Structure 1
Amino acid sequence: MRLAALAAAFLFAFAPSAAAQTPAPPPAQAPGSDSGDQRVTFGVRPATATAPDNRASLGYSATPGAVVKDFVAVSNIGNNPVTLKIYASDAFNTPEGGFDLLAAGKPSVDAGAWTHAEMTSVSLSPRSVSIVPFTLTIPANATPGDHAAGIVAALTTEQTGVNGQKVAVEQRVGARIYLRVTGDLKPGLSITGLTGSYAATPFGRGDATVSYIVHNTGNTRLSGKQRVSVSTPWGSTVDGEALPPVPELLPGGLVKVTTTVRGLLPAGWLDAAVHVDPVPVLGFTDVVQPAEESVTLSAVPWAALGVLAALLLGIFAVRFARHRRRRTPVAPAEEVTEHAAAL
């Protein structure tokens, strides 16, 4: 029985740099199969009407109702002819903050739906390039701010799984599309879901684990510089380890962060603070207020208190036992009177 399952082999090369044109690797071979020279390697990158160019991504700024025309170059870098599907799809952030596109067959409702390639497929001979024109039509009611999508070249191959079933595996690569629709821009980041816990040692300092979500609540792309610190009731502060920048988040995107602040005294309670300075997209000067949030952690050294309580209880028991021995009356010895018998 053929299994027409599209495996989630989304081998994207949607990095916002020259790495965005990295070709898809060859499909995996089933164990024991003879691959021969069937390698399939292809890529997609921005282009002019005649050749690939050096743009890292397809970026535009336009008004609602505008029409943008541009090109991508689809390359077959392998040694065999290949036919690739060409389509556009909406972009989104993964929970780790990465850039991804909707799965094949899932309908787009944003910039992916506004983008239409003039070819739905291309057939490429080995070591060849095809220029594909496309049109981005911005609706008159498009919301202001940033919209993201990608133009995809995809190859579906049939492979045999370890259980002998036939599986359709889709490889896809593409070029990112970034569109800024002019209008009222409201950039902003927020910190939500902030939680923390303190792990004490019996005698000494402990560690605080802090988790939170950085959420892009505005309508422009933003990254950010983040830091976490923990303060004691008497005002001393311990900074957490250096954190990597918040990855570039699309509007509505989010990333989950967990970090540890070490070497904290069990002060009864501690205040953990998260601070994120938003960073606008390169080339834009959006003014964005920092995002801050804090949470109070219980930092009671229960293990040390338990040992101390046990020690105090032992001392009390010993003293109580001694006190009872001192107050217990001693019975008087019986007097024995000897009477001499009169002879």
Structure 2
Amino acid sequence: MRFSPPRLASAALVAALALLSSAPVTAAQPEGTPEEQITFGIRPATQDAPDNRARFTYGATPGAVVRDYVAVSNVSLAPLTLQVYASDAFNTSEGGLDLLPAGRPSTDVGAWTKPETTTVVVGARSVVIVPFTLTVPADATPGDHTGGIVASLVTEQTGANGSKVRVDQRVGARVYLRVAGELRPGLAVEGMAGDYRTNWNPLGRGSATVTYTVRNTGNVRLRGKQKVVVRTPWGSTVDAEVHADLPELLPGNAIQLTAAVPAVLPAGWLTAQVDLDPSVGPDDQKLEVPDVSVTSTFAAVPWAALALLLALVAFVLLWRYRRRGRSAPKPVRTSTSGAEKVPDVAVR
């Protein structure tokens, strides 16, 4: 994985993509040659060498102590000084998995996991094995706890405008811990709302947008499938354009989602419905996870049709008024003297 410093946005992107992956992270130094590129990684290991585990996965009881090893590798042609620390994991608002930065205190697995050393010097083309201890508190809650062990390289680089930029390149290995006890898997839909956008063609259909938040209300990591439909008062339905399944949600975490619903009639009132079909990992198939179905009603006013109707009504009223004015009888003039006018008679 490469990026071109000194742009801060590029550095942040590299950190986000590399984090929680066992793949190495690569960074090119300013005006550097391929021989000066920096590449390092982190992965589970035995006491002697990296092993084949993709992540750290443990099952433990409250009060248990787990001892393990992590391998920090340097594929570069020069030694690297790297920071090693543990941190709590969380879901981003888009559903991705990230770790708290080094300056943010952890309260879960990140706080329970202690590397034997926090700074390692890894020689060129070398690997350093770092022991660590995970101590589960006696009052740890049952269920899944997720974090990661990070190898970090912090450098200072010069931007195009001459300013100094602090770049933190991180790569991490996930830590999945399940504490023994009652497992309560569950998802919930919160803050559901719908919005209708009128098609100003009176005979056309508009579109709707359904927004909602899916929260993991249980204590087990969950994925799932989702379906969103919009229903008219007379029962016809339109499916939303939902292409992706729910990503893995950690207990207590949430993801904000938006579903677009095309070609919806402005039926006055519409009902949106979100259906979730949660799923668990291969080792949790015996767990019963309830499905979720939530509805929300929102207005879909046919403004274009109403505007056209009002224009027609105004036209008809104006036409009738003018026609009535043309067909009304003309007023008869009368004398104002009070005496009846007698026609002149010729006398011979």
Per-residue displacement from partner, 1:138-159 (whole Å, max 9, x unpaired)? 1111111111111111111111
Quote the sequence identity (%).
Answer: 54
Matched-pair contact (CA < 8 Å) for 2:19–2:99: no
Q: What is the rounded CA distance, in whole Å, between the counterparts of 2:77 and 2:22 in structure 1? A: 18
Q: Which residue of 2 aligns with 1:138?
A: 136
In the alignment, structure 1 residue 205 sits paired with structure 2 residue 205: yes
Q: What is the rounded CA distance, in whole Å, between the counterparts of 1:216 and 1:249 in structure 2? A: 6
SS of equivalent residue, structure 1 residue 288: coil
The alpha carbon displacement at 1:282 in A equals 3.2
Q: Which residue of 1 aligns with 2:294?
A: 293
Q: What is the rounded CA distance, in whole Å, between the counterparts of 2:254 and 2:29 in structure 1? A: 32
Q: What is the rounded CA distance, in whole Å, between the counterparts of 1:319 and 1:43 in structure 2? A: 84
Q: What is the rounded CA distance, in whole Å, between the counterparts of 1:181 and 1:191 in structure 2? A: 26
Matched-pair contact (CA < 8 Å) for 2:269–2:300: yes
The alpha carbon displacement at 1:161 in A equals 2.5
Q: What is the rounded CA distance, in whole Å, between the counterparts of 2:16 and 2:307 in structure 1? A: 54
Matched-pair contact (CA < 8 Å) for 1:13–1:175: no
Q: What is the rounded CA distance, in whole Å, between the counterparts of 1:106 and 1:197 in structure 2? A: 37
The 4+ residue runs of structure 1 with deviation greater than 4 A are 337-342
Q: What is the rounded CA distance, in whole Å, between the counterparts of 2:320 and 2:237 in structure 1? A: 43
Residue identity in the other structure for 1:146: D
Q: Which residue of 1 aligns with 2:150?
A: 152
Match of 2:62 among 46, 64, 85: 64
Residue identity in the other structure for 2:198: A
Q: Which residue of 2 aligns with 1:26?
A: 27
Structure 2: gaps of 5 or more residues: 1-7, 334-342
Q: What is the rounded CA distance, in whole Å, between the counterparts of 1:326 and 1:257 in structure 2? A: 64
Residue identity in the other structure for 2:136: I
Q: What is the rounded CA distance, in whole Å, between the counterparts of 1:140 and 1:11 in structure 2? A: 33
What is the Cα-based RMSD across aligned positions, in Å?
A: 2.4
Q: What is the rounded CA distance, in whole Å, between the counterparts of 1:198 and 1:167 in structure 2? A: 45
Q: What is the rounded CA distance, in whole Å, between the counterparts of 1:71 and 1:12 in structure 2? A: 23
Structure 1: gaps of 5 or more residues: none
Q: What is the rounded CA distance, in whole Å, between the counterparts of 1:179 and 1:187 in structure 2? A: 16
Q: Which residue of 1 aligns with 2:307?
A: 306
In the alignment, structure 1 residue 101 sits paired with structure 2 residue 99: yes
Matched-pair contact (CA < 8 Å) for 1:39–1:80: no
Q: What is the rounded CA distance, in whole Å, between the counterparts of 2:306 and 2:316 in structure 1? A: 15
Matched-pair contact (CA < 8 Å) for 2:224–2:245: yes
SS of equivalent residue, structure 2 residue 124: coil
Q: Which residue of 1 aligns with 2:257?
A: 257
Residue identity in the other structure for 2:157: Q
Matched-pair contact (CA < 8 Å) for 1:97–1:253: no
SS of equivalent residue, structure 1 residue 319: helix
Q: Which moved more, 1:162-171 or 1:300-309?
A: 162-171
Q: What is the rounded CA distance, in whole Å, between the counterparts of 1:132 and 1:126 in structure 2? A: 17
Match of 1:13 among 8, 18, 26: 18
The alpha carbon displacement at 1:243 in A equals 2.9
Q: Which residue of 2 aligns with 1:234?
A: 234
> TM-score normalized by structure 1?
0.89
Matched-pair contact (CA < 8 Å) for 1:149–1:177: yes
Residue identity in the other structure for 2:300: A
Residue identity in the other structure for 1:103: P
Q: What is the rounded CA distance, in whole Å, between the counterparts of 1:74 and 1:40 in structure 2? A: 14
Q: What is the rounded CA distance, in whole Å, between the counterparts of 1:172 and 1:53 in structure 2? A: 21
SS of equivalent residue, structure 2 residue 194: strand
Q: Which residue of 2 aligns with 1:35?
A: 32
The alpha carbon displacement at 1:225 in A equals 0.7
The alpha carbon displacement at 1:329 in A equals 2.3
Matched-pair contact (CA < 8 Å) for 2:28–2:36: no
Matched-pair contact (CA < 8 Å) for 2:207–2:263: yes
Q: Which residue of 2 aligns with 1:182?
A: 180
SS of equivalent residue, structure 1 residue 21: coil
Residue identity in the other structure for 1:135: T
SS of equivalent residue, structure 1 residue 68: strand
Q: Which residue of 2 aligns with 1:192?
A: 190
> TM-score normalized by structure 2?
0.88
The count of residues paired between Structure 1 and Structure 2 equals: 329
Residue identity in the other structure for 1:153: A
1:71-82 matched pairs, under 5 angstroms: 71-82=69-80
Residue identity in the other structure for 1:154: S
SS of equivalent residue, structure 1 residue 177: strand
